[in-house]
Chains A and B, each alone.
Chain A
Amino acid sequence: MAESAQHLSTDHLTAMYGKFTAVKDVSLSFPANTVNALIGPSGCGKSTYLRTLNRMHELSEGGWITGRVSLDGEDIYGAKVSPMQLRRRIGMVFQKPTPFPTMSIYDNVAAGLRINARLPKGELDGVVERSLRQAALWEEVKDRLRGSALALSGGQQQRLCIARTIAPKPEVVLLDEPTASLDPGGTQRIEELVFQLKRDFTIVIVTHNMQQAARVSDTTTFFYLGQMIETGPTRQIFTAPKQEQTEAYITGRFG
């Protein structure tokens, strides 16, 4: 079985808040065009780990890291890397939908595209439509692109945030519990969407929901108390985990 290119990887990554270690010495790699789930009980460090991947962690109070995070072989914490430029290559979607309340649906999707250059109107229209289609939202909002983003349901808002994240064509999309605040219908649509998105992006998704990890991901990594306990193909993690803690967690004995 030929492994695809190791797109995004961490090497002995340790994430700290001041003197507190949230993530200890994690080495992982995420191949291109795969969905990679990070699971584990609350406070296990999986969200912190995710936030080191696009340098959001360093914006938290006292956040700093040791070790290395590479995107296409380049150290993203290198001195020449601008965090702003980096975050346009590694997008992120959060637990709660965060549409910009003062902007229309259209402007929300276009927000990331307007940072750098002013695209011609026609081109911008095209990217907005493409992104909304990719996020499976186009049919629902095409007649009210100028309407407020706050008028959408929670699930629609989350898909709008996904459209906004993928509009600038990042290489990697990080999803931090994207369905935690949604109802089952909204959750299902996001899961289907994640499956579609891996054709164009490398995806890392943090989830509390183990069925979700099993349904959508190619690889699964189990975190516990800030350490990476086990990683492997999702099927193997869920059917034949090698570590006792992993088995205890996925069978629901703790966490």
Chain B
Amino acid sequence: MNRRIFRRWVSNFMVGLMLVAVIVAVAPLLFILLNLIVKGASSLSLDFFTRMPVPAGETGGGVAHAIVGTLIIVGLASCFGLPIGIGAGIFCAEYPGTRLAKATRFIADVMNGTPSIVVGVFAWTLIVARQKHFSALAGACALAMLMIPMVMRTTEELIKLVPHSLREAALALGYPRWRTSLSIILRTALPGIVTGSLLAVARTAGETAPLLFTALGSQFMSFHINEPMAALPLTVFTYATGPYEEWHRYAWATALVLILVVTVLSIAARLATRQRLSGRG
């Protein structure tokens, strides 16, 4: 009887410990979100999403240019980064023992640990310094460089999770190697790869440092990828470090918009993949 009570206490204690861990993990996130809403929501209005910034001192205006800029830069970065990252991931999973795969994996791990500002400086030397002007394209390249190692490693791990028996079943059916990889292995791993890619896109959408020396930021709406372009994280940075009280409020609001954009992107893409997969039934 005593043993049973003792065991129940130990069990409750352990569950309690885990609850504490969960709270400690989630609390800062909730606090950040709450803080953003409290300080930023009051400045949010339809204008904030649709209008351009006004000169300092005047009230009103919005960050439409930065929303468009972020969408363009992150969209371009995804076009460069996702195919390369996923392709490299497939290669490393399909030919795991080759020297090239081992080297690629090692470099990707190093790059995953590289501070994003270093990547920004690299993109600056590679593109901006040569072209002698800042550009959204350079920003997209910097973000793509951050995306590639993340996407590559997730893709590789997810493909490795597909049971070897499935590959054998396809080959035994007479599938050529490339079709086994594409229509059996990759398709089985696809939902995970999509989620992993989304996480990478969402993470890079919030990066500021690599854009500082590349896309630079701008006060104007721009669709030219060969010119400086605004982006939400840059706008947060500019407003937050600016001298005006009004700007500080805008910084909070812009940060909130950034989080909203990232959330909407994730939810939309997740819904899209879910529908397609269940549609195949």
Chain A residues with CB under 8 Å of chain B are 54, 56, 59, 84-88, 91-92, 94, 96, 98, 100-104, 111-112, 115, 146-148, 161, 164-165, 168
Contacts and interface: CB of A to CB of B under 8 A. Distances in A.
Given A84-B175, A84-B176, A115-B175, A100 B170 contact: yes
- Smallest CB-CB A-B distances: 10 pairs: A98-B169, A88-B174, A92-B172, A87-B174, A112-B173, A102-B187, A98-B165, A84-B174, A146-B281, A84-B176
A98 B170 CA distance: 9
A94 B176 CA distance: 19
B171 A111 contact: no
Given A84-B176, A104-B281, A146-B281, A59 B171 contact: yes
A112 B174 contact: yes
Interface of B: 163, 165-166, 168-176, 179, 184, 187-188, 190, 277, 280-281
A87 B173 contact: yes
A85 B280 contact: no
B174 A115 contact: yes
Contacts of A88: 173-174
A104 B173 contact: no
Contacts of B281: 104, 146-148
Contacts of B168: 56, 59, 94, 98
B174 A100 contact: no
Contacts, number: 64
A92 B165 CA distance: 12
Contact of A100 (B166, B176, B190): B166
Nearest to A147: B281
Contact of B174 (A59, A85, A161): A85
Contacts of A92: 172
Q: Which residue, B165, B174, B187, B281, has most C-beta atoms of chain A within 10 A? A: B174
A101 B173 contact: no
27 contacts: A56-B172, A84-B174, A86-B174, A87-B171, A87-B173, A88-B173, A88-B174, A91-B172, A92-B172, A94-B168, A98-B166, A100-B166, A100-B169, A100-B170, A100-B188, A102-B188, A102-B190, A102-B277, A102-B280, A104-B280, A104-B281, A115-B176, A147-B281, A148-B281, A161-B169, A165-B172, A168-B173
A115 B173 contact: yes
A94 B169 contact: yes
A100 B186 CA distance: 12
